[in-house]
Chains A and B, each alone.
Chain A
Amino acid sequence: MFSQFFGGYLLNHNIVSREQLSRALDEKKNTRMRLGVLAINEGLMTSEQVEHVNVMQQTVDLRFGDLAVQLGYLKEQDVDDLLHKQPTDYLLLGQALVNMGALSNEGFERAINDYKATLKLDDDDISGDQYDALSSMVSEFYHFSTARNARLYTNYVTLLFKSLIRFIGDDFTPLDASICRTAEGACIVRQLINGAYKGQTIISAEPDEYRCFARRFAKEAYFESDEFDDASVSEFLNVINGLYAVNESNETGTEIGLEPLALFRNEDVPLGEEAFSIPVQFTFGEVEFIVAF
């Protein structure tokens, strides 16, 4: 999930464009990791040193690792370690952006270091799937710590992103959140939360994106109809709300319930309270998630 939020960081800081990021997300599956980007990420080489090796490679018939050792930038053991390192998802994204020319080695070095520093994360935090690291990343990205019910928002949105990766795909970028009082979109699904506290959760999208989202969730069970699209998107929302309710019940003993899902087509839905609008850019388009506690 670090990869998705790193993508969001690059976009929000205007380091890459939406089109470049979308292309890189598409291409990262076929991207081969290069030693230079790995070495920068590990802090073993600076971007200048990587550039130097790259330039030297044009005149000398040596592999990157061998040349870096010859120039005194790396030890042989470092090269060995780097070659055996499994590239993480965010590194593949970074490599894809470097390959496309959207990001220089230096730009990648600056962005990755700034982002890690912002989140106060180390490599162990971002290489695994530790819940605490993920939730602090989510909370930091959306500034939930300043919100009322910060714990609820952080837990819900962390679960939402984990569920997107699990059920829809990892080719998305979280965009900046905003506060809204109305849900607007051609296709809207809403589920209210009741019980120990109240809340509302919404998925909103334009018809094409809504259909793509429905198709991704349904997988081979998909068949094309508006009714099935509604059913599929509704079920996604219902499943993650159910998982959220179970987590709440198990972790804090709080019992919450879910109301039947409601569908809206081509109408604005007043929320009756301030809510977080969380747009997410998939490679097929944008889908908005709205959450209020």
Chain B
Amino acid sequence: MYGIEAINANNGWAISVVGITIVFTGLVVLSFVISQLHKVMDLFENPRKIKGWFIGEQKAAEEGEISESPPFTLTEEQKEITKQFALLARTMEEHFSLPRLLHLSQISGVKNPHSNLNILLKSAIIFPDGEGFFCWDQNLYTKIISQ
């Protein structure tokens, strides 16, 4: 048996439709779940936000429960240097060694690497992971750079 007749006889159309639907459903659901994952993680890390939903963010802030850290301001030159550090940090592991970043900035010709690295630490764009390494806070970086 060949052609359309063979497809019909073997229930081919239904199998194909069901198959592609299941694959699509699986990946769409997975895609949706992982698109929300970082938001869930954010809530997990900042449980005060959940409280803010119920009593209102303003009230929660008034109660001192939500305390946004004052934004750290950088000069235009410092911003440029921070962008250079951001590029260097991207070439490294998520948890990186500070001396290694300093070394990279020195060989890359970044201006005043020691003092600028210190600024990044003060601004908390670079923060310690508690295990001897450091991490790059991309959200804070974007926030400070866009000021």
* A, B bound: no
Question: Which residues of B does A touch, CB under 8 Å?
Answer: none
Name A's B-contacting residues (CB within 8 A). Answer: none
